[in-house]
Structure 1
């Protein structure tokens, strides 16, 4: 098998971790393996990306962003029950 024939495996630059308890609940956002900030909504994730110079963040591209413990619509602990 050549490299061209092997499956594409990539590590996305952005990783949004599971919802954490808080008032309000939040999710940590990692960029390049380092915590870049906290997000209380998808808007916060986009703002973190913009602060790092990313003008358009494709929230559905698994090569760009990985959502752990839910998707971009998961922002409360009730979603996890």
Structure 2
């Protein structure tokens, strides 16, 4: 039997920080851009509006963070 790792396919994707005043991140739900976020609370509000419960922001099965995790909200 061959082991094949399972890669999570979360419904929520948060893209890298973009330049702006303030800097922001684009949020996708189910592959569609739904808006922007300037802090982690915005991601939770977008998930709630879409009816998606998020119990753990660090769980890769819940949220995919691209270009930095939940604490990355400034350009480097």
TM-score w.r.t. the length of structure 2 is 0.89
> How many residue pairs align between the two structures?
76
Superposed displacement of residue 56, structure 1: 3.2
Paired residue for 2:68? 70
Superposed displacement of residue 57, structure 1: 4.1
Give structure 1 stretches of 5+ with no counterpart: none
Instruction: Tell which structure's C-alpha radius of gyration is larger.
Output: 1
Give structure 2 stretches of 5+ with no counterpart: none
User: 2: distance between equivalents of 1:7 and 1:55?
Assistant: 25
Alignment root-mean-square deviation, CA: 1.4
Paired residue for 2:9? 11
Superposed displacement of residue 61, structure 1: 0.5
TM-score w.r.t. the length of structure 1 is 0.84
Matches within 5 A, 1:25-40: 25-40=23-38
The structure with the greater share of residues assigned to helix is 1
Superposed displacement of residue 54, structure 1: 2.2
Paired residue for 1:46? 44
